[in-house]
Structure 1
């Protein structure tokens, strides 16, 4: 982690920090992120081009599937997977949430969320 902090692989926004530990350039087919979601924030996300799996190990919150209206509580030990590219709201309600996130295909680390909370089509990995 110390090699990632304050580098291009340490992405910060108003509601989150993403420490990107494995990226497309590492050649393993997925990316692995240690993500911090700040208490009291809500993010609208929609990964149209990626499947995202998330393991919460700190804090409490919820994820709302915007297609179905279902709301799922999150806390230490929760796993949620967005395998149908669902638009969703992620809320950190009690303490900062810390989440291990896995994306397939792998992120390059240069992605930026667009207006609807998604990333564009995956880029070819650099080697």
Structure 2
């Protein structure tokens, strides 16, 4: 593939190595890293960093007012401030998706699926 048409607009380097694809919403990238941080990055500038309890390996999901992140716990982080709340999980999450401010989470066994509203 040639380089025509692709231009790097900005670059951001978190403290740790990125651990999954970022989630994108409202021109902001939400990036998990192996330093247990979740970074909100807009045009290459860090807006905030949320400290999780462990390294997040799954891609975040962006809701209307917050970002959902799941690993050993489920985090809901406000997009505006980076403040978050945590809920312990009984299942190890496999995937999550959002609609509005609702999160749908599937466990690694492929059979557990539940919905969580704003924590």
Coarse TM-score class (shorter-chain normalised) = under 0.3
With the length of structure 1 as denominator, give the TM-score of the two structures. Answer: 0.25
| Higher RCO, Cα 8 Å, sep 6+ | 1
With the length of structure 2 as denominator, give the TM-score of the two structures. Answer: 0.26
CA radius of gyration, larger in: 2
